Chains A and B, each alone.
Chain A
């Protein structure tokens, strides 16, 4: 019990004094996961919107693949990226394994299906006649898509949050493709795993606390989004 209390005290101290190492790790986490989320948004919103708005053979298969991808285990994503970036792998010449870039790639792979799936659902749940209404107002295709995305902006924000939440908290892929190199590719989750292993509970707790805080913020925003109502 003493150990936990002592750990909490230490963690609190590390946080309020803005301990450089803890802050560095946090900043790198935000940077990597933020960049990965940003890339997955481009992919996810465009693919999600296209799949939501068009009819083509095999559409059902594509939708179920996206939904399956939403549950892609981070270690599998890590494994795939590792194989590709391995020295003898197809993209080995890039020599980016065990770099933040590799982590961004792996995290984008994890976040993309999440963002795609939620974008698809949020465009699809707009009223069926809304598309016709927008066209009837004189919009061209591009204007229509833009208005639909604007109308779905709140659920799309949920997509951003879910994507970011998914990658900031994953550890499997980051440790596999980033290598947990101190000051270079060490992020909140990989550091927590390591410090716990070493018995440095106070640092592990401080890092865990920051992760919890991020999770709380994300959920607060999501809840806010879900409570809003659509206009008539």
Chain B
């Protein structure tokens, strides 16, 4: 459904709050039919960007083009707002029934009763809340309320829907179900969507493209896969889950591989760089495996380091193990492995990871 023509494009967007710049965006565009995830820590400016894109907050400057047409005057802004929808973190329902809530956008547009009825019923059905249609919005669970809010947004058949952390206040199973339904409905309707979230996995599941934000700026934007696997800087790398980030200097180059001198050891990585160049090596904890120090089992991992267990932090289904290999390294290990390897703080192990598991960020900029 994605086409190349941008449905929305902005340039030189600048927003201040209380005299402090909170958003500075040279250029940004959204293609028709795609889902863009905005990720970043709290206070990075995700919500501000979303509200600015929806023309709901005042901007210091910035040009917004919707289908190539400028959105600037009061009249243009109003017309634009009638073709988009926004869903906030809080469902912000009106004190009436579920049905009337979902119908509210259509009521505002003065559509006739019958059409409202048809469209509302379709959305209630789609979001699985038809049985709640006559229930008061005051008597809904968190998940039901957010479904109502989403149905209300989709009822107006928006061309773009802006979602501001829509699942943050829901418990995991509820969030899971809603995430799946939203994904399906976005695909079914071909609606363009921009979703802000601080959960990179949530963004990864819904979006084709992602933008990582920090301090009111977009630090990297690109296909979701690229962001997750090829972050361009340290901040993005750590935000997308690369917990180990090491600084080193390229000591040798092979065919498509490099050796990096960390000062306290050398590791091998897949990538391109010039000898002598300073680089950062990022490693995901789930790509590090641990084995007994005496084990001489065959491993295809090119990087093998003797390590000492510094700390073990339980994370529910698995454990985060902080290792000292001369350099710090983080690994995720199942509870089963913890007991198999008899891991405890101070114990010796071998840490292994493949050359392909090392993401290299070149430092020249």
Interface residues of A (CB under 8 A from B): 127, 129-130, 132-133, 135-140, 143, 147, 150-151, 153-154, 228-232
Pair A231/B93 contact, Cβ less than 8 Å = yes
Binds A, one of B7-15, B76-84, B301-309: B76-84
Contact of A127 among B90, B105, B145 (CB under 8 A): B90
A-B pairs with beta carbons under 8 Å apart, 10 shown: A137-B104, A137-B156, A138-B81, A138-B109, A139-B108, A143-B108, A154-B95, A229-B138, A231-B91, A231-B145
Pair A136/B91 contact, Cβ less than 8 Å = no
Q: How far is the CB of A72 from chain B (nearest CB, A)?
A: 32
User: Does B137 make an interface contact (CB < 8 A)?
Assistant: yes
Q: Which residues of B contact A228 (CB under 8 A)?
A: 138
Pair B95/A133 contact, Cβ less than 8 Å = no
A231 with B56, Cβ < 8 A, contacts A129-B90, A137-B85 known: no
Pair A133/B142 contact, Cβ less than 8 Å = no
| Residue on A nearest B136 in the bound complex, by CB | A231
Q: Which residues of B contact A135 (CB under 8 A)?
A: 56, 81
Pair A231/B137 contact, Cβ less than 8 Å = yes
Q: Which B residues from 63 to 105 make CB contacts under 8 A with A?
A: 78, 81-82, 84-86, 88, 90-95, 104-105
A136 with B145, Cβ < 8 A, contacts A229-B138, A231-B137 known: no
Assembly CA distance A133 to B152 (angstroms): 11
Q: How far is the CB of A230 from chain B (nearest CB, A)?
A: 7
Assembly CA distance A98 to B78 (angstroms): 53
Q: Which B residues from 34 to 57 make CB contacts under 8 A with A?
A: 51, 54, 56
User: Does B5 make an interface contact (CB < 8 A)?
Assistant: no
Closest 3 CB pairs of A and B: A231-B137, A136-B86, A232-B145
Pair B95/A230 contact, Cβ less than 8 Å = yes
Assembly CA distance A61 to B95 (angstroms): 32
Pair B82/A130 contact, Cβ less than 8 Å = no
Q: Which residues of A contact B78 (CB under 8 A)?
A: 140
| Residue on B nearest A138 in the bound complex, by CB | B82
User: Does B27 make an interface contact (CB < 8 A)?
Assistant: no
| Residue on B nearest A231 in the bound complex, by CB | B137
Contact of B92 among A133, A139, A143, A154 (CB under 8 A): A133
User: Does B140 make an interface contact (CB < 8 A)?
Assistant: yes
Interface of B is mostly: mixed
Q: Which B residues from 128 to 163 make CB contacts under 8 A with A?
A: 136-138, 140, 142, 145, 152, 156, 162
Q: How far is the CB of A100 from chain B (nearest CB, A)?
A: 38
Given contacts A129-B92, A150-B94, A232-B91, list 14 more A-B pairs with CB under 8 A.
A133-B88, A133-B92, A135-B56, A135-B81, A137-B108, A138-B105, A138-B109, A140-B78, A150-B95, A154-B95, A230-B138, A231-B93, A232-B90, A232-B140
Pair A132/B56 contact, Cβ less than 8 Å = yes
| Residue on B nearest A126 in the bound complex, by CB | B92
Q: Which residues of A contact B145 (CB under 8 A)?
A: 231-232
Pair A129/B108 contact, Cβ less than 8 Å = no
Assembly CA distance A150 to B145 (angstroms): 19
Assembly CA distance A228 to B95 (angstroms): 11
Interface residues of B (CB under 8 A from A): 51, 54, 56, 78, 81-82, 84-86, 88, 90-95, 104-105, 108-109, 136-138, 140, 142, 145, 152, 156, 162
Pair A138/B108 contact, Cβ less than 8 Å = yes
Pair A137/B152 contact, Cβ less than 8 Å = yes
| Residue on B nearest A147 in the bound complex, by CB | B94
Assembly CA distance A230 to B92 (angstroms): 10
Q: Which residues of B contact A229 (CB under 8 A)?
A: 138
A136 with B93, Cβ < 8 A, contacts A231-B136, A231-B138 known: no
Pair A231/B85 contact, Cβ less than 8 Å = no
Q: How far is the CB of B168 from chain A (nearest CB, A)?
A: 13
Count chain A CB atoms within 10 A of each CB in B104, B136, B137 and give the residue with the most: B104
Q: How far is the CB of B104 from chain A (nearest CB, A)?
A: 6
Q: Which residues of A contact B95 (CB under 8 A)?
A: 150-151, 153-154, 230-231
Assembly CA distance A133 to B162 (angstroms): 11
Q: Which residues of B contact A127 (CB under 8 A)?
A: 90, 92
Pair A132/B51 contact, Cβ less than 8 Å = yes
Assembly CA distance A127 to B95 (angstroms): 12
Q: How far is the CB of A145 from chain B (nearest CB, A)?
A: 13
Assembly CA distance A105 to B132 (angstroms): 49
Q: How far is the CB of A189 from chain B (nearest CB, A)?
A: 36
Q: Which residues of B contact A140 (CB under 8 A)?
A: 78
Assembly CA distance A132 to B156 (angstroms): 16
Count chain B CB atoms within 10 A of each CB in A139, A140, A151 and give the residue with the most: A139
Assembly CA distance A139 to B82 (angstroms): 8
| Residue on A nearest B101 in the bound complex, by CB | A231
Assembly CA distance A150 to B156 (angstroms): 21
Q: Which residues of B contact A136 (CB under 8 A)?
A: 54, 56, 81, 84-86, 162
Q: Which residues of A contact B138 (CB under 8 A)?
A: 228-231
Q: How far is the CB of B83 from chain A (nearest CB, A)?
A: 8
Q: How far is the CB of B239 from chain A (nearest CB, A)?
A: 26
Q: How far is the CB of A221 from chain B (nearest CB, A)?
A: 17
Q: Which residues of A contact B109 (CB under 8 A)?
A: 138
Assembly CA distance A133 to B86 (angstroms): 7
| Residue on A nearest B77 in the bound complex, by CB | A135
Q: Which residues of A contact B90 (CB under 8 A)?
A: 127, 129, 232
Assembly CA distance A151 to B100 (angstroms): 13
| Residue on B nearest A152 in the bound complex, by CB | B95
Q: Which residues of A contact B85 (CB under 8 A)?
A: 136-137
